[in-house]
Amino acid sequence: MTEVLHFSSPPSAENSSSSTTSDDDDDDEGGDPRVEEERKLKKRSKQEGDQLSVLALLVTLFRKSWTSGTGRELSGMDIGIPTNVRHVSHVTFDRFRGFLGLPVEFEPEVPTRVPSASANVFGVSTESMQLSYDSRGNSVPAILLLMQRHLFALGGLQAEGIFRITGDNSQEEYVREQLNRGVVPEEIDAHCLAGLIKAWFRELPSRVLDSLDPQQVMQCETEEQCTELARLLPPTEYALLDWAINLMADVVQQEHLNKMNARNIAVVFAPNMTRMADPLTALVYSVQVMNFLKTLISKTLRERVFNGRAYRGILSGAF
């Protein structure tokens, strides 16, 4: 009679694992909550560590592939020393004509004018224009100083009715185009140039006196009140007003030749210094603005006389 022995097979790893997990779960269900929380934190830290290891592996592979393509070791953000440098052309930049001396092959890639500067000198904000200092230290658009200098050279201060008489309209469009290029035509008429100075103020997006309260301007009666009100202007507008007042004072000083007194020059400038929507209100307000300008012009002329006397007194030793 043959006996057959039967051996039971050892438990598989899967069964063991299942049993263990089941036992752990059974233990956890009735265990301390702090133990459960600690177990979750360890599990999360292990997962994050695995992710960082994969990321580090990818970075290492990338560095190796990059250095093998360049033939050198990666050295952070080091910039190498320029080689094969040669002088191609000397390039300068002009506010009105753009880049000068630029090689032809680069012209399509570089704008002819700086983006922050306007292509026009009329009807644009002073922030987009080239500024220069006048004799009083005011920072004003260079185009105003250019027109002023040529107006004086043309004898405009002595021309009868300067700033009142309209210039040749046929010239204006051409002169505007030239002024946009920073050039004043030699054949320009003094009255045309004076008219363009007024037009420059008139076409500003925000006129010089627009930031002042109209009621305050209407209430100005004395020289002191006008002076204090002018000081309330923003720096840019104050500099423009001071420049314009001194230009008008220059005209009045030649009154015996040009027939333009303080009231006359203030009348022609007033409509260009402020803007109001209602025509009737604008007309009434313009009269008060004219008085405001006239007062400041008279004050400037008196100060010039006083300073001139003081200067002459210092030279003679009598002051």
Phi and psi at residue 292, in whole multiples of 5°? -60, -50
Q: Report if residue 140 sits inside a domain.
A: yes
302 pLDDT tier (thresholds 50, 70, 90): very high
State the Cα–Cα distance between residues 165 and 239, nearest whole angstrom: 26
Quote the mean pLDDT of the chain: 78
Supply the range of the domain harboring residue 206.
126-316
Q: Report if residue 160 sits inside a domain.
A: yes
Q: Report if residue 130 sits inside a domain.
A: yes
pLDDT at 54: 64
CATH code assigned at 202: 1.10.555.10
E-strand ranges in the chain read 92-94, 98-100, 131-133, 139-141
CB hemisphere CA count around 93 (13 angstroms): 9
Residue whose pair of structure tokens reads 């224009």 in the numeric block: 129
More reliable by pLDDT, 187 or 271:
271
List 100's β-bridge partners, or say none: 92
Q: Report if residue 89 sits inside a domain.
A: no
**Residue 315 Cα to chain centre, angstroms:** 45
Work out how many domains the chain is built from and give that number: 1
Phi and psi at residue 130, in whole multiples of 5°? -75, 130
State the Cα–Cα distance between residues 270 and 202, nearest whole angstrom: 10
Q: Report if residue 5 sits inside a domain.
A: no
State the Cα–Cα distance between residues 52 and 155, nearest whole angstrom: 81
- Identity at 167, one-letter amino acid code: G
State the Cα–Cα distance between residues 239 and 145, nearest whole angstrom: 13
pLDDT at 28: 46
State the Cα–Cα distance between residues 84 and 314, nearest whole angstrom: 65
CA nearest to 226, candidates 284, 287, 289, 304? 289
pLDDT at 46: 67
Q: Report if residue 18 sits inside a domain.
A: no
Residues 46-75: tens digit of each pLDDT = 666 666 666 676 667 666 655 555 445 445
Three-class SS state of 139: strand
Give the C-alpha distances (Å, rounded to integers) separating 173 from 118, 130, 193, 199: 18, 22, 12, 12
Residues 157-168: tens digit of each pLDDT = 999 999 999 988
